[in-house]
Structure 1
Amino acid sequence: MPRAGLDVDAVTRAAAELIDEQGLPALTMTALAERVGVRPPSLYKHVSGGLPELGHRVATLAAQELAALFRDARSAQGGEPSLADVAAAFRRYVSDHPGRYAAATAAEPKGDDDPLAHALSDSLDALGGVLDRYGLPRTEHVHAIRMLRSILHGFAVLDAAHGFRIDVDVEASVAWSLELMDAGLRVARPSR
């Protein structure tokens, strides 16, 4: 019989916390069972697909959290945050949740009806909403989203890995990059 209060969502959250603390390779059914206070075979009552299913669920959770983060950044600024607002929130998320972010970047949706596919699409749509203020044609929106995502991902991952070893403030580099992107997007705006 499953432990009271333990369900697939609780197991997923426990797995997300474990990998945020110890890294993606630390996720084993034994380590997770110890964390939630059950024996390893009991976890399969909640996650019948074992570690692959669990990793997929954590990736979905992370994509859902990122979508909410991007939407919240938009609503907190009256619907139009600056690129810096979104970058700060994103980098904080990656710093606070490195394991689940790693799971999200490594996971592949299993089809169009996969919850991960919906969560990833939702997070990209929410991030794309940040770019609406630039008035780009829809055909160029995907390029701008990819550029912003690449900048955000690069700074967050390199910073988390202590990859910036030059004695220059990383925050200044982030601000410089985003100001340059903002200026470029303003120039790319079609004439009205």
Structure 2
Amino acid sequence: MSPRAGLDTHTLVLAAAEIADEQGIEEVTLAALAAKLGVRSPSLYNHINGLQGLRSLLAVHGLELLYAAMSAASVGLKGDAAVHAMGQAYIGFARQHPGLYETTLRAPEEGNPELKKASEQVLSLIIEVLSGYELGAEGELHAVRGWRSLLHGFAALENKGGFGMPLDTNVSLNRLISTFIAGIRSMSLRE
């Protein structure tokens, strides 16, 4: 069986995700992907629209995995427990998939309905959990930005080796999420 026999878009995305997680998103090139799959670079164009197309597919895949992790962690939970579970799942995803995680950070570009749908699915899940805090529609969006900023900052520092002190990072994460919850509890609908 030749290496091309099982070549499809899903296979390409999974292989590219492996490269991203093992070597970094910058190392995901068509040449690297072709080498990993044992094919010539031009044959990739039968399944993807160049490097930008591959990066968009990776972002959709990453957002789908992130959503699945956060959804599974928070199912059946409400309030503080759900926020903690989703936050821990978010960081768990960033730890397990550091390269793929990087693809999930940008706002979806216009003209990419799959990426927009995947992004909106993650956003809707977070808003659903935060709705119990009665922040109002605009307040929920501000809270989502704050939540993502805190968790991304934590993930970025951790992934780059920025936590050098001999303290359990999971304890730090738990305290960070608790601080966030205390903060959104103090927000009013007027803000």
One fold, TM greater than 0.5? yes
Q: TM-score range by the shorter chain?
A: 0.7 to 0.9
What amino acid sits opposite 1:32 in the alignment?
L
Distance 1:186 1:106 in 2: 28
Aligned to 1:103: 103
Q: Give the 5 Å matches for 1:61-72.
A: 61-72=61-72
Counterpart residue number, 2:14: 13
Partner of 1:93: 93
What SS does the aligned partner of 2:64 have? helix
Total equivalences in the alignment: 186
Q: Deviations along 1:13-47, whole A, 9 cap, x unmatched?
A: 11111111111121121211121221211111111
Q: Which amino acid aligns with 1:42?
A: S
Residue of structure 2 in register with 1:179 after alignment: 178
1:188 maps to which residue?
A: 187
The residue number in structure 2 matching 1:35 is: 36
**Matches of 2:159 and 2:15, distance apart in 1:** 22
> CA–CA distance in 2 between the matches of 1:8 and 1:32?
12
Query: Which position in structure 2 is the counterpart of 1:44?
Result: 45
How much does 1:173 deviate? 2.6
Which 4+ residue blocks in structure 1 deviate beyond 4 angstroms? none
Q: Is this contact kept in 1: 2:157–2:163, CA < 8 A?
A: yes
- Are the counterparts in 2 of residues 15 and 58 from structure 1 also a CA contact under 8 Å? yes
Per-residue deviation, 1:82: 3.3
Distance in 1 (CA, whole Å) between partners of 2:22 and 2:86 is 24
Superposition RMSD in Å: 2.1
For the residue of structure 2 that corresponds to 1:105, the secondary structure is coil
Is contact 1:2–1:42 with CA below 8 Å preserved after alignment? no
Given that residues 95 and 160 in structure 1 are in contact (C-alpha distance below 8 angstroms), is that contact kept between their aligned partners in structure 2?
Answer: yes
1:189 shift after superposition: 6.0
CA contact (8 A) 1:2 1:45 kept: no
Unaligned runs of 5+ in 1: none
Q: TM-score, normalised by structure 1?
A: 0.87
SS in 1 for 2:186: helix
1:16 alignment partner AA: A
Contiguous gaps of at least 5 residues in structure 2: none
For 1:46, give the aligned amino acid: H
- The percentage of aligned residue pairs carrying the same residue is 35
Give the Cα–Cα distance (whole angstroms) in 1 for the partners of residues 117 and 106 of structure 2.
16
Contact 1:19 1:100 in 2 (8 A): yes
